[in-house]
Structure 1
Amino acid sequence: MEGLNCWEYFMCGREAGGVNSQEFGACPASTFYKHNGINGGKFSGRYCWTVEATLCDTKIKGGIEEKLLSCLHCSFFKQVNYEEGREFTLMHLEK
């Protein structure tokens, strides 16, 4: 079974074409293809802590520096870490 992407887990409706995407815009985690497949997610759906302007704690957060500490306490982040086990990717270093 594949794990949930962040927009499925939180049911925020901000995924591309989601019920809240018109009003609030599509979440960048649901459209940022560069991270597709990391931690088994679609686009950046299981790697959202590295994407700017995602919804965290009911607020849109900026860059990694602003949000990473809160992400470490996030139930979704913990779930992805648990599900991926040794294969969990916290940060992907580009070549």
Structure 2
Amino acid sequence: MKNQRIIPKYQACFLHEQQQLILTMKNKSGTEWEEDMNCWEYNKCGREKGGLGAKLHGVCPAWPDNGQQCARVAGTFCGGKVQGTFVMKLLTCMKCGFYQSEHYDKTYGKKNAA
């Protein structure tokens, strides 16, 4: 192959794909993010502070404290568009793999209840 030059526009996509591959490998190993996985780790969107997605689309409003309760946060960027309030986006969230996973906190404030 001759010298290939990566166009800057596509370089970000390439780096994001590498990042996703690494995160997927870690997730499948079962050693990291077993219990306290956040939506941006599960979906690999990079919208956490410092992530590639945050540089492109801004930091997710669920970051840093609501990554396991993202459905309750207005304005999250899911499915390629900004979502509305909890009531408006609940049907979309209920179809989400993260929402359906064991990582999503469905306790609604009753996590430490006996």
Give the TM-score taking structure 1 as reference length.
Answer: 0.69
Structure 2 gaps, min length 5: 1-33
- The higher radius of gyration belongs to 2
1:18-62 per-residue CA deviation (whole Å, 9 max, x = no partner) reads: 11212211001113xxxxxxxxxxx10110000011122221101
RMSD after superposition: 2.2
CA–CA distance in structure 2, aligned partners of residues 7 and 60 of structure 1: 15
Q: What is the CA distance between 1:67 and its match in structure 2?
A: 0.4
Confirm whether residue 65 of structure 1 aligns to residue 87 of structure 2: yes
Letter in 2 for 1:88: K
Paired position in structure 2 for 1:28: 61
**Larger RCO of the pair (alpha carbons < 8 Å, separation 6+):** 1
Paired position in structure 2 for 1:40: none
Paired position in structure 2 for 1:9: 42
CA–CA distance in structure 2, aligned partners of residues 50 and 24 of structure 1: 20
Q: What is the CA distance between 1:92 and its match in structure 2?
A: 4.0
CA–CA distance in structure 1, aligned partners of residues 49 and 75 of structure 2: 14
Secondary structure class of the residue paired with 1:28 = coil
Structure 1 gaps, min length 5: 32-42
Confirm whether residue 88 of structure 1 aligns to residue 106 of structure 2: yes
Paired position in structure 1 for 2:3: none
CA–CA distance in structure 2, aligned partners of residues 59 and 24 of structure 1: 10
Total equivalences in the alignment: 77
CA–CA distance in structure 2, aligned partners of residues 3 and 12 of structure 1: 17
